[in-house]
Amino acid sequence: MKETINRRQPFATEEYAKEMIRLIENSCQKIYSYFPSPAIHTNNKAIKASSLITNYCDMMLMIYTAGYRVESLTSNLEPLVAAYERKREFDILAYGSDEVCAGFGENDDYEQFLQTLSLCILLGRSELIPRLSAIFDRDNKGQDAIYETLLSFYDDSRVKTDALLFKRPFAGLLKVIRAATPKEASKLLDKYCKDWYPAFKKA
């Protein structure tokens, strides 16, 4: 990986970042080795695929925090989206039907997905967005305003709604996204960030 250029946290030294990334990569490789084994139940494979998603999200957070170049983030988006697809595949196999829900069980799942979708938008990987919506549309289309608003940047036919799957702490984020001006968005974003941890305590 290329040298860091803009370290965003004092604790994230280059040595620390490299070691953390190495550990995450090793964990990912170990998870991949489970998938071909017929001895491992598909339920367990689905759980491992969830861990794979978390690993790639953690890796991207480490890459960003340590100050590596944006290209390093971009290259990790495809395997992250593929991990979502792999989990969906194992969920269907374990359930025996594609009727199995592809929802967000808790705040963390939802936040992780929003981060992934937002990065696809911000980093210009729009070709990955239909792959994400193909997984989650069946059970979530029209159910969440942030989900619909983000997808509407690439699909004009998205459902318009004010509903939120998780009002705390994400109601403030919806206000940021829908702000009329950059100045208003900046002000609302500042408030949203300040309210983040207190909102989770009440969630």
pLDDT of amino acid 121: 94
pTM of the model: 0.88
In angstroms, the CA 179 to CA 22 distance is 40
In angstroms, the CA 134 to CA 139 distance is 10
Task: Give the tens place of pLDDT for each residue, 129-187.
Answer: 999 999 999 888 999 999 999 999 889 999 999 999 998 889 999 999 999 999 999 99
Domain boundaries, given as residue ranges, for the chain: 14-164, 166-203
pLDDT of amino acid 56: 96
Q: 3-class SS at 150?
A: helix
Q: Is the pLDDT of residue 12 over 80?
A: no
* Averaged pLDDT for residues 51-62: 95
